[in-house]
Amino acid sequence: MSFTALVKDEVSRLDISETERISELSAIVQNSEHDNKIKIVTENNTVARLIYSLFKDIFNVYPKVSVRRGYNYNKNMLYTLEVRQKISHILRSLGISSDVPENFIYADEDLLMAYLKGLFLMKASVNDPKTSRYHLEFNLDNFKYAEFVSNCLNHFNLNSKILHREHRYVVYIKEAEKIGDFLRIMGAVKAVLYFEDIRIYRDHKNMTNRLNNCEQANVDKIIETANDQVKDILFLKEMDVYDLLSDKEKEVSEYRVKYPEASLVELSQIISMETGNKITKSGVYHRLNKIRQLALKLKEKKKSEN
């Protein structure tokens, strides 16, 4: 079962108040066929049971239920619920209109959350954080309704955005923290725990990878710098000017050639320990830099003579 299906299954089993159930059913019907009849199609058995119960309990109407295998790649079962009685009364009671629902359907935060639950059951999908990028989306029919849904989500500071995709409008959330907040708003506790566990694991893994990459980059830089310093020392010997260096500079250069992969800190520790002459990282750098400057001057001179 997909993560989306698991979340819908959990949300469908939540207990909510009578008025919240009306708001929830309003979103379901708004996003289904509702002209001369109300026709709702879902792949989720638990969602189908919920919808059946909502019509029965609120309007004393018993939807006709049919089941068939879908034509999609996975060939999931499709559950179709049809209502042909009290259509006008039901649509009026659910605040259904051509574009957005009547205000009483989402008049307070509890009703708004219930409405978003129903909308999620019919029109949303959320990626499994274990296998995909963080992404939650609602696939909607028109821009005005998409704008309404986005505003509802952003009432809870979820930072949703709208994307026009062919003949559809997608309201989506991409931030992991915001998706977790939306799952909490719906009351999907199990889904939140799973989502947050995976998110924390992935964040920790990404941080570890970044630190490892940073450490490797520092190591590569140290080795590259050390190789350049060794080349400078060998160049001075090749040009027969090595003896122009002071004894302290020669000492550092000998240890640099002997330990080409050591960092400046490590090199200062080795020299201090083996010679008994304490030298700091700054001291090592200063002497190697003087060797570097001398090598650069000789290279410039040699280049100009050629």
Residue 151: give its domain's CATH number.
Answer: 3.10.28.10
Whether residue 30 sits in one domain with residue 148: yes
Q: What is the pLDDT of residues 39-54, one digit of tens each?
A: 999 999 999 999 999 9
**Local mean pLDDT, 10-residue blocks, the chain (306 residues):** 92 93 95 90 93 95 88 74 93 90 94 96 92 88 94 96 91 93 94 86 70 71 82 85 84 85 85 87 88 85 76
Q: Are the CB atoms for 278 and 269 separated by under 8 Å?
A: no
CA angle 246, 250, 254 (to 5 degrees): 175
pLDDT of the residue at 189: 92
3-state SS assignment for residue 45: helix
Whether residue 161 sits in one domain with residue 283: no
Q: Are the CB atoms for 208 and 174 separated by under 8 Å?
A: no
Q: Name which of 42, 34, 28, 46 is nearest 117 in CA terms.
A: 28
Whether residue 239 sits in one domain with residue 144: no
| Domain contains 201 | no
| Domain contains 200 | no
pLDDT of the residue at 274: 86
Residue ending a domain, among 166, 187, 208, is 187
Whether residue 176 sits in one domain with residue 264: no
How far apart CA 86 and CA 197 sit, in angstroms, is: 46
Q: Are the CB atoms for 17 and 113 separated by under 8 Å?
A: no
pLDDT of the residue at 296: 87
Whether residue 144 sits in one domain with residue 35: yes
Whether residue 262 sits in one domain with residue 160: no
Helices (H) and strands (E) in the chain, counts: 11, 8
pLDDT of the residue at 277: 82
Question: Of all helices (H) and strands (E), which one includes residue 78?
Answer: strand 77-83
Quick one: CA torsion of 37, 40, 45, 46, rounded to 10 degrees? -90
How far apart CA 112 and CA 119 sit, in angstroms, is: 10
pLDDT of the residue at 72: 60
Q: Which structure tokens are listed for 240?
A: 């027969």
Give the CA distances from residue 10 to residues 67, 126, 208, in Å, rounded to whole numbers and listed in that order: 22, 14, 33
3-state secondary structure string across 2-29: CHHHHHHHHHHCCCCCHHHHHHHHHHHH
Q: What is the pTM of this model?
A: 0.68
pLDDT of the residue at 13: 94
Structural domain for 89, as ranges: 3-187
Whether residue 284 sits in one domain with residue 157: no
pLDDT of the residue at 247: 85
Q: What is the pLDDT of residues 28-81, one digit of tens each?
A: 999 998 888 999 999 999 999 999 999 999 999 999 999 988 666 556 788 999
pLDDT of the residue at 271: 87
Q: Are the CB atoms for 294 and 244 separated by under 8 Å?
A: yes
Whether residue 88 sits in one domain with residue 235: no
Q: Is the dihedral of CA 60, 65, 71, 75 positive or negative?
A: positive
Q: Is the dihedral of CA 143, 149, 152, 158 positive or negative?
A: negative
pLDDT of the residue at 102: 93
Beta strands in 84-228 (DSSP E): 124-126, 136-140, 161-165, 168-173
pLDDT of the residue at 25: 96
Which residues are registered as beta bridge partners of 77? 69
